[in-house]
Amino acid sequence: MFNKCAIKLTIEDIQEVENLIHLNFPKDFIDHYLKYNGGVPPRTYFYMEEYETFVEISSFKSIKYKSDSEDPRIEDTYQNLSIEKNIIPKNMLPFAMDWGGNLFCMNVETEDIYIIYLDLGEVNESNGSIRFLINGFSNFLDNLEENGDE
C-alpha cells in the first residue's frame, strides 16, 4: 500500500490531464493511479540488471492534486521539462523520481519504463542519461524490492 498519496482521482480527473498534456496513459497506469495518486511505495528499489545496481524511488508524482511531499505533479513536470524546456522527449511521461531528482518515465508509445538522469548533461540515450529499466508499468511495480541489497 502506498502512503503519502494525494487526493483520490476519478477517471474524469485522469482524462482531463491526458487531454491537457496530449498523451494517452496505458490501462494499468490508469488503474494504479485510480487507487494511489502518487505517494511512496512500500518497496522502493529497482534493480538495473544491465548496470548491476539499484535505483531507489523517493516518491511517485501525483496527478491533478498535490501530495504531501509538495513535489510537482506529473502534468507540471511534463509541461516544464518536455513542452517548455524540451529537456525530456515528448513521449516520456515522468511519474516518479529518485532522491537526486532524476525521473522515472514511461514511454507512452511502447510502455517501456526508463530512468532519466537529469544531471548528466543533455538528455539522450547516447550519453547514458536515458536508461531502459523494464517494459510495462505493472512489471515495473512488480519488480520493486524492499531494500537495495543483492
pLDDT tens-digit profile of 6-40? 999 999 999 999 999 999 999 999 999 999 999 99
Asked if residue 33 is part of any domain, the answer here is yes
Angle, helix 27-35 to helix 11-21, in steps of 10 degrees: 130
Helix or strand (DSSP H, E) at 107: strand 103-107
Question: What CATH number is attached to the domain comprising 47?
Answer: 3.40.1580.10
The predicted structure's pLDDT at residue 126: 63
Residue 136 banded pLDDT, cuts 50, 70, 90: very high
At 113, is the secondary structure helix, strand, or coil? strand
Domain assignment of residue 43, yes or no? yes
Domain boundaries, position 128: 11-142
Mean pLDDT of 35-46: 96
- What's residue 8's pLDDT? 96
Number of domains in the chain: 1
pLDDT, mean of residues 66-85:
89
Q: Kindly report the pTM of this predicted structure.
A: 0.93
